[in-house]
Amino acid sequence: MDIKAISGIGMTQGLGLGLEKKQPASAIEGAGKFFSELVNKVNDMSVQSDQAVQKLATGENRNLHETMIAVEEASISFLFMSQVRNKALEAYQEVMRMQV
């Protein structure tokens, strides 16, 4: 029996992080690339948030709503990244506790 994967569903698609799913050469390279892309995207969102706050403070931008949305997006993406890291560490610790 052939089981096909559901396409178009991903954890990171709803957050707008834009992480792509590609078949890696190995699982370690894939995980490393995933975390690297995740950290880079979260950092970019944080920089954009800081710039939006600076523009609001200097009077360049008078739209408080867009600034607050940028700040919240950066906050939520950071929380998502920290939860992914926590889950990865828990999985690693669980594997290390396994008896061979």
3-state secondary structure 40-89: HHHHHHHHHHHHHHHHHHHCCCCCHHHHHHHHHHHHHHHHHHHHHHHHHH
Kindly give the confidence (pLDDT) of every residue in the chain, 100 residues in length, as a single tens digit, with 9 standing for 90 and above.
566 655 544 445 555 556 556 555 677 788 889 889 999 999 999 999 999 999 999 999 888 999 999 999 999 999 999 999 999 999 999 999 998 7
Indicate the domain borders of the chain: 27-97
Question: What is the rounded end-to-end Cα distance, in angstroms, of the chain?
Answer: 32
CA dihedral 6, 8, 14, 20 (to 10 degrees): 110
Q: Which two tokens stand for residue 41?
A: 């995207």
Q: Can you give the pTM of this predicted structure?
A: 0.67
